[in-house]
Chains A and B, each alone.
Chain A
Amino acid sequence: MSTLPRPVPALEPHTAAFWRACRAGRLEFTHCLACDYLIHPSRPICPKCRGRRLDSVPVSGRARLYSYTVNHQAWYPGQAVPYVIGLVELVEQPGLRLMTNIVHCPLERVHIGMRLRVLFENVTDAVALPLFAPEEAS
């Protein structure tokens, strides 16, 4: 069976800045200058206050694990399993979440609420994926 490539995020108008920042080693989000809300995925307007004056700000990269699943099913030929899919909540804002992989952590030690820190895996010249590892391991 042939091995398929891992799909990489396309650079789209509203997402390119996010992926490019990751490639530069920074986790950045669109930010509302009026109400301070961090907007993810990025929108050209703030969903909280409809503010239109937005910029982009870096965050600490610290997060807590909100939920997770250990995936055992290979979704394409050659995909290595198992791996941990995590939904992490960044410390800067309740509900600001990223779906990601939890790495550098034995499966049996993964638990909801654990403290995590971002690291980046370069996948192309323009894109890196934000992954998360236990804070004590980084």
Chain B
Amino acid sequence: MSEPLERRAILSGVGQSAIGRRLFRGDLDLTCEAALAAIADAGLQPDDIDGVAAYPGPMSGVPGFAGPGVYEVQDALGIDLRWHLSGLEGPAQISPIIHAALAVAAGLCRHALVYRTVTEASAAADTGRRGIGAGSAEISGFTAFFVPFGAMSAANWLALYARRHMHEFGTKREHLGIIAVTDRRHAGLNPQAIYRQPLTMEEYLSARMISDPFGLYDCDVPVDGSTAVVVSSAAVQRDLPHAAVRVNAVGTALRARPLWDQWEDLTTMAARDAAAHMWSRTELRPADVDTAQLYDGFSFLTLAWIEALGFCKRGESGPFVENGRIALGGELPLNTWGGQLSGGRLHGFGFVAEAVRQLRGECGERQVPNCEVAVVGVGGGPIAGCMLLTR
């Protein structure tokens, strides 16, 4: 195997804005705060940045979801670009990080700023949380087959996946609960997390239902916040203040009909394809992973990623997470920042920030000892992207 091009990229800096419920600050303001922090963390100046990328780029009709566009950020920071990109379609929310790695590897730019910003909590302050299409008389596009039936949230769509997994493999609500309870335990060690009080299994099970089998604590918490990373050419790493976090392999494959309802087997997800693709690009194996940062927009997604990445066999993720295996101190400590369930819905990038910090050994009380290999898996249903990072 020739060396995958993504190995010529490093994650040289990471930064986050204030993260909270209803900050009532503008998305560009939060993004600039995170961007300047990430650039400083990389030991760079804004003028060193010559690439900018974001997920998803400007969108209408989804309050607080999209964050500012690449042009707004370029203009606000007053920087010249050799490369830029945003887009909704791609290997999940980390798509712009993966593409930035390829851009620096190809020499299109040297230091790319990549960000994800959400203000969903403030955006819902006046209305409460509404479903997709709520308030529209007509609905078009792929959700026209879902929304008229009241399937107005990814909670509904993914509940169908979770229920099917339970039916075929005997997965229990308590297994979903282990994700929520473990995330919360980890959040208690992260001062930036949204929910830090311990959550018991009893509290988890007795919470109000959203879309069964998902109750309140199976669903991530909308927040305001921005996460930025600097993706740099590996050629510059000796000049930077931190030990480089290297991109070892990325996974971007999608091999079945990319539709929430027509996906061939709802006990799998696109994570299956992205993960297989990633492992095909590296000599490292699942047993080499020291920490996993696995998407938990809904608790079940973490189980799906555990299976997709081959930490256990298909259908066995429920029993796999029992007995503390995924908690700090266990065999596969995951979502050590609290995940989106307790750390806040930073939409994929919170996992990347944590993976970088774990690999650098900066996580204090929640540090995974001797952390050398981290995997980040992001997305759900027919959307997935993943990365293997090393120190």
Contact = CB atoms under 8 A, between A and B. Distances in A.
B189 interface: no
B285 interface: no
Interface string A45-87: 0010000000000000000001111111101100100010101
Contact of B167 (A40, A67, A76): A67
A9 B147 CA distance: 8
Interface of B: 130-140, 142, 144-153, 155-156, 159-161, 163-164, 167, 208-214, 257, 259, 261-262, 264, 266
Given A9-B139, A41-B145, A87-B160, A72 B209 contact: yes
B211 A47 contact: no
Given A75-B131, A83-B150, A85-B150, A99 B264 contact: no
Interface of A: 4-10, 12, 15, 40-41, 47, 66-73, 75-76, 79, 83, 85, 87, 95, 97-101, 112, 123, 129, 131
A7 B131 CA distance: 11
A67 B266 contact: yes
B146 A71 contact: no
A97 B149 CA distance: 14
B261 to A, nearest CB: 5
Given A68-B163, A69-B156, A15 B144 contact: yes
B211 A76 contact: no
Contacts of A66: 164, 266
Contacts of A79: 150
A85 B162 CA distance: 13
Given A9-B139, A67-B160, A85 B149 contact: yes
Contacts of A5: 137
A87 B134 CA distance: 21
Contacts of A100: 149
Residue among A9, A75, A101 with max Cβ neighbours from chain B (10 Å): A75
Contacts of B167: 67, 112
A96 to B, nearest CB: 8
B92 to A, nearest CB: 22
Contact of A85 (B130, B151, B257): B151
A55 B145 CA distance: 21
Nearest to A101: B149
B211 A7 contact: no
B160 A7 contact: no
A67 B211 CA distance: 13
A7 B209 contact: no
B133 to A, nearest CB: 4
Contacts of A68: 160, 163
B131 to A, nearest CB: 3
30 contacts: A6-B148, A6-B150, A7-B136, A9-B139, A9-B140, A9-B144, A12-B140, A41-B142, A67-B163, A67-B167, A69-B211, A69-B214, A70-B211, A70-B212, A71-B159, A71-B211, A73-B153, A73-B211, A75-B152, A75-B153, A76-B130, A76-B131, A76-B152, A83-B150, A85-B150, A87-B266, A95-B262, A101-B149, A112-B167, A129-B148
B152 to A, nearest CB: 4
Nearest to B161: A67
Contact of B264 (A15, A85, A95): A95
Q: Which 10 A-B pairs have the closest CB atoms?
A: A75-B131, A69-B159, A76-B134, A10-B140, A75-B152, A10-B138, A7-B139, A67-B164, A9-B144, A67-B160
B138 to A, nearest CB: 4
A4 B160 CA distance: 26
A10 B144 contact: yes
A120 to B, nearest CB: 13
Nearest to A112: B167
A10 B131 CA distance: 18
A67 B150 CA distance: 15
Nearest to A127: B148
A40 to B, nearest CB: 7
Contacts of A129: 148-149
Among A4, A6, A99, A129, the one with the most B-chain Cβ atoms within 10 Å of its Cβ is A99
B155 A73 contact: yes
Contacts of A67: 160-161, 163-164, 167, 266
A131 B148 CA distance: 11
A116 B350 CA distance: 43
A70 B131 contact: no
